[in-house]
Amino acid sequence: MSTSVRQWLSVIAVAVSAFAFVTAEFLPVGLLPQIAHDLDVSNGVAGLMVTIPGVMAAIFAPTLIVSAGRMDRRYVFLMLTAVLLIANIVCAIATNLPVMLVGRALLGAALGGFWTLATAAAPRLVQARDAAKATATILTGVTFATVIGVPLGTFIASFASWRASFAATAGLVAVAFVAQVLLVPSLPSASALRLASFRTLLGRSHTRLSLLMVALVFGAHFSTYTYIAPLLEQDFSLSAITFLLFGFGLIGFFSNALMSMIVSDHLKKSVAAMVLLLLAALSSMLLLEHSGIGETAGMLLWGVAFGALPLCFSVWIQRGTADAPEAGSAMFVSIIQVAIAAGSAVGGTIVDRAGVRADFMLGLALALLGLVTLQRLAALERAVKVRSFDRTCDASIE
C-alpha cells in the first residue's frame, strides 16, 4: 500500500515546523556580533543564546515525553509550537541579556519536546516502506532553515535590525502552527513512556557508543559553527557572510536529498563519509584562513557534511532503538542538545580567551574522536554477528 497525498502533506506540515524551530534556534549564529554589541556583552557570552536552548532541550526531551503520558501527540505538537511563538516575541523585545536568555530558554524547552516527537512520529505518518523518506523530508526542514531561514535573518538584520529578524521568525512560527492545525492527523499514544525504557536502552553498549558518537560529532560542529560569523567577518562583509551561509544551507539541502536515497542501504559508509567531510571542512577553514576561496570551499564542504549527518544519525538511532522508538528519539534529541550546549559554551570560552582558531582545533579533535567511536561501533557489530552465527551453528549441530 502506497503513502497517500494526505499523509505526505502531514509530513510536510511537520517539516515546516522543523524549519521554524531550527530557524529560531540558530538565528543568533548569523547575528551574534550585532546582538552582542547591542546588549553590551562579548561574543563568547552572547554564545549563551545557543547554549541555553541546548541545556533546556536536553532536559525537556525526555521529561516532556514522559510527562505527556498517553496524550495525543498532535496536541503536544501544537502546544510546543505555541511556546516557540512566545519565545521569539520575547527575544524580539529583549533589551538586555537576561530577558533574551528567558526567551531562548522557552525556545529550548519547546525544541526538546518537538524533536523527540518529530523523529519518532515520522514513521507513523506514512506507510512503513516510506519511513526513511518521511524522516528525510522532516529533516529537510533543518536544511531549509540553514538555506533560507538563518541567511534571511542575517539579511533582514543588514537593512533593519536583529529584532526584526526575530519578529519575522515569529511570523514563520505562526505559519507552522496553522499548518499543523490543518494537516497533522491525530497521533494517539498506545502507552505511556516509562523511565524503564530509558534504562533498558542505556544498558546496551551499542546504544551508549552510538550516543557518544553523535555527541562528539555534533559537538565538533556546534563548538565551531556557533562562532563562524566572528571568523568570517575578518575577511567578508555582512552581505558576503549571508551568501556564504546561504551556500552552506543550499548544498546541505542537496546533500540531505541525495543521502535519503542511499542511507538505508549504506548507513555505516554514509556516516563515515560525512564525518570525514566534516574533518576536511574544519581543516580547510584552519589551513586556508584569510583565503576567500579557501574559506568558501571549506563552508561548502561543511554544508555537504552537516546537510546529511542529522539524517544519518537519526536513521542510525532509529534502527538501534526500534523496540522503544520514543525513548530512543528522546535520548537522541537530548544528546544532540547536550552537544550543542557544551560545544557552544566551551567554544565561547575558547573564543574569548584564545581566539577562533583555537576553537576550530577543538572541533577537529572532537570530529576525529567521533570517527574513532564509529570504528568501535563497527567492531562491536561484527562481534555480535559472529556470536550470533556461532549460536546458530551450535543449535543446528544439536
Q: Is the pLDDT of residue 358 over 80?
A: yes
pLDDT, residue 386, reads 64
CB neighbours of residue 245 within 10 Å = 27
Burial state string for 317-345 with b = 16 or more CB within 10 A and e = fewer than 16: bbebbeebbbbbbbbbbbbbbbbbbbbbb
Q: How far is CA 55 from each of CA 48, 108, 339, 344, 345, rounded to the nearest angstrom? A: 10, 7, 9, 11, 10
CATH of the domain at 317: 1.20.1250.20
Grid cell at residue 102: 528567558
Instruction: Count structural domains, the chain.
Output: 1
Q: Is residue 69 part of a domain?
A: yes
pLDDT, residue 216, reads 94
Q: Is residue 24 part of a domain?
A: yes
Residue pair 221/112 in contact by the 8 Å Cβ criterion? no
Q: Is the pLDDT of residue 397 over 60?
A: no
pLDDT, residue 213, reads 94
| Cα 344 from Cα 118, distance rounded (Å) | 24
Q: Is residue 396 part of a domain?
A: no
pLDDT tens for each residue of 142-159:
777 766 777 778 788 888
**Helix, coil or strand: residue 287:** helix
Q: Is residue 148 part of a domain?
A: yes
Task: Specify the higher pLDDT residue, 306 or 393.
Answer: 306
Low-confidence winner among 72-76, 116-120, 222-226 (lowest mean pLDDT) = 116-120
Alpha carbon 108 to its chain centroid, in Å, reads 12
| Cα 298 from Cα 89, distance rounded (Å) | 35
Residue pair 362/355 in contact by the 8 Å Cβ criterion? no
Q: Is residue 146 part of a domain?
A: yes
pLDDT, residue 215, reads 94
pLDDT tens for each residue of 78-93:
999 999 999 999 999 9
pLDDT, residue 388, reads 58
Q: Is residue 253 part of a domain?
A: yes
Residue pair 266/351 in contact by the 8 Å Cβ criterion? no
Q: Show the domain range for 126.
A: 5-185+197-386
**Can you give the pTM of this predicted structure?**
0.73
| Cα 137 from Cα 17, distance rounded (Å) | 12
Q: Is the pLDDT of residue 335 over 80?
A: yes
pLDDT, residue 185, reads 87
CB neighbours of residue 29 within 10 Å = 22
pLDDT, residue 198, reads 80
pLDDT tens for each residue of 257-309:
888 888 888 889 999 999 999 999 999 888 887 778 888 899 999 999 988 89
Residue pair 136/270 in contact by the 8 Å Cβ criterion? no
375 falls in which pLDDT band (50, 70, 90)?
very high
Block residue for cell numbers 560545544: 343
Secondary structure letter of residue 149 according to DSSP: I
pLDDT, residue 390, reads 53
Q: Is residue 394 part of a domain?
A: no
Q: Which residues contact 272 (CB under 8 A, 6 or more apart)?
A: 371, 374
Q: Is residue 312 part of a domain?
A: yes
Q: Is the pLDDT of residue 395 over 70?
A: no
Grid cell at residue 254: 542537496
Number of H helices, E strands in the chain: 16, 0
221 falls in which pLDDT band (50, 70, 90)?
very high
Residue pair 54/337 in contact by the 8 Å Cβ criterion? yes
Secondary structure letter of residue 191 according to DSSP: S
Grid cell at residue 172: 514563520
pLDDT, residue 193, reads 64
Looking at mean pLDDT, say which of 89-98, 109-118, 256-265 comes out highest.
89-98
Looking at mean pLDDT, say which of 93-97, 135-139, 288-292, 335-339 comes out highest.
93-97
For residue 221, which amino acid is it? H
Q: How far is CA 308 from each of CA 255, 260, 263, 302, 335, rounded to the nearest angstrom? A: 6, 8, 9, 10, 18
Cα angle for residues 57, 153, 254 (degrees, 5° grid): 80
Mean pLDDT on 298-322 = 88
Mean pLDDT on 46-65 = 82
